[in-house]
Amino acid sequence: MPWSVWWLVLTLLAGPSQASAPCARPIQVAYYDLGILYDPATGQGLDRDVVDTLAQRTGCRFMPRFESRVRIWTMLAAGTLDMSVSGIPTPERRQFAEFVPYFWVRNELVTTRRLAQIKPEEFLANPDLRLGVVKSYKHGEAWEPFIEQLRQRGRVDELADTGSLFDQLEANRIAAFPALSLVTLGMAKRYPTRQPMVRLPWFGEQAKVEHGLILSRSKLDPATYKLFQQTINEMRRDGTLKAIFSRYMGNADAEAMLQQ
């Protein structure tokens, strides 16, 4: 067989394996403003530490960028973004993304002192109380029906980010909003309010909400998913994730985040 033919055969054989090699190019990872998970003012946070450790262990190169949460999901669905962080899987999202979970938490109600004792049924019964939510955010199996009831009554304000929720609460345009404690811990420092905030553990009986790396199905290959899953699992087993979380949350909360 002529050498040119052999070369063509070898090229065809090599092509798929090279294409499927993980981290064959830099990976764009989008972060969004989310309390101690990521602070756009500094470019730092828990999520950034997780990805930086992932880079050290895998040799992959990540190109960070800052986007709104809504734009990130739009780009992932359109196949124009490689990856993001702290994503909540749903059947719809699994159509265009793979998820690698690395922490589990519940949302709390953030409100003001005047509503410090309020219960979900009391909130529903008061037509003057409005709830704020971040557009596209998923809150958990017990939260979603509650929010939908309010939405049907025209009492839900959908905003672009958590910072806007703090602003609306301070201005008394909303009475409360659901959020993760690790979000409010960081955001409260950047959005100081004149009225003290309180956090209520509503729906504490519901399952924790899974959060993970979001990997584009159209932009990244199965070898990359597998590598990231194995590495995150190793970071969980050897205590690296707990050490990262503890820097921001303390040991007890860090341990709780690792429990499903």
Mean pLDDT calculated for residue range 14-36? 75
Q: 146: closest CA among 123, 166, 168, 179?
A: 123
> Is the pLDDT reported for residue 19 higher than 70?
no
Pairing of strands 209-216, 97-105: antiparallel
CB of 225 closer than 8 Å to CB of 101: no
My answer on whether 187 and 224 are in the same domain is no
> Is the pLDDT reported for residue 195 higher than 80?
no
Position 124 in a domain:
yes
My answer on whether 193 and 214 are in the same domain is no
Average pLDDT, the chain: 89
Q: 35: closest CA among 191, 176, 219, 150?
A: 191
DSSP tag of 88: P
Position 13 in a domain:
no
Q: What is the pLDDT of residue 48?
A: 98
> Is the pLDDT reported for residue 18 higher than 70?
no
Question: What are the phi and psi torsion angles at 106 (to 5°)?
Answer: -120, 150
Cβ-defined contacts of 163-171 (< 8 Å, 24+): 163/33, 163/187, 163/190, 163/191, 164/132, 165/110, 165/132, 165/133, 165/134, 166/191, 166/193, 167/191, 168/132, 169/110, 169/111, 169/112, 169/132, 169/193, 169/197, 170/194, 170/195
Pairing of strands 97-105, 131-134: unpaired
Position 237 in a domain:
yes
Residue keyed to tokens 């756009």:
40
My answer on whether 241 and 192 are in the same domain is no
What pLDDT, in 10s, does the model give residues 197-221?
899 999 988 889 999 999 999 999 9
My answer on whether 59 and 96 are in the same domain is yes
Position 227 in a domain:
yes
How many Å apart are CA 135 and CA 171, to the nearest integer?
A: 19
My answer on whether 114 and 150 are in the same domain is yes
Position 92 in a domain:
yes
Q: Which domain holds residue 185?
A: 107-200
> Is the pLDDT reported for residue 11 higher than 50?
no
Cα separations in angstroms, 216 against 102, 113, 201 = 17, 42, 33
pTM: 0.83
